Structure 1
């Protein structure tokens, strides 16, 4: 395993609907690129805050505020943070993982790629990893990103 990049950060509700971009410069030919991405917490556990957020959205986005029962907000539980990944290589778009899980492992090589990504030549140059911060419903949400080349997986993401 050869680590190419590591990053970690914290986002808050004000970061919702934004993007964080990391550029990984690969100067030599590689056979594959692996990405381990995780964030936490996944869910908002506070029922009162959840109720307030959901009812606020219902009031904003429902055409007729009186068309829903006061207890309908419970149908939207649990509220979840959502951060997703997109990758662009030197030759353009290589895929996106807009999945609901908060821990993802992605691998791209000439012969294969994780579902949602495009296999192909592993060119030297700028590889761009974009974290799309769709929603942060907790006070804060921390993330970790580890990019490496090689077959072995770093078993301990906590070392970042």
Structure 2
């Protein structure tokens, strides 16, 4: 394993609807690249906080006609979940994305194979970008970790 990039951080609800772009350098073409991403917690399990957040969102986003029926059924939206997704760009452009709900993800890129959502092909030298799209953070904080390495295994 040849570690190329590693970071970790904490997100809060104010970070929702933002993107974090992390750049790393491959000094020479590579045969295989791995991207490991995880975040915790996945869910907001507190029903009191969830009820307040769900009702606030329904008042803000639903039409008046829809609001009452939806507010009475707020529990159907529980538990709320954090959502962060991953996209990758190589020096030449977009290589794909993993818009999944999984809080733990391991992606592989090589010339002959790639994880679903990504494109197999040459792994050129240069500046690569891993973008974390922070769709929604509903918990008071959410910790993430991102690691990129070349070669097999960890």
Q: TM-score, normalised by structure 1?
A: 0.92
Instruction: Check the 8 A contact 2:59/2:67 in 1, yes or no.
Output: no
Task: String of CA shifts for 1:42-75, please: whole Å, max 9, x gaps.
Answer: 0001101100000011111111255415431111
Aligned to 1:18: 18
How far apart, in 1, do the equivalents of 2:67 and 2:121 lie?
Answer: 53
RMSD: 1.1
Residue aligned with 1:68, SS: helix
How far apart, in 2, do the equivalents of 1:146 and 1:27 lie?
Answer: 17
Q: Which runs of 4+ in 1 moved over 3 A?
A: none
Residue aligned with 1:138, SS: coil
**Number of aligned residue pairs:** 153
Residue aligned with 2:101, SS: coil
Structure 1: unaligned runs, 5 residues or longer: 155-160
- Structural mapping, 1:8-157, within 5 Å: 8-64=8-64, 66-68=67-69, 70-152=71-153, 154=154
Q: Normalized per residue, which structure has more strand?
A: 2
Q: TM-score, normalised by structure 2?
A: 0.96
How far apart, in 2, do the equivalents of 1:14 and 1:98 lie?
Answer: 21
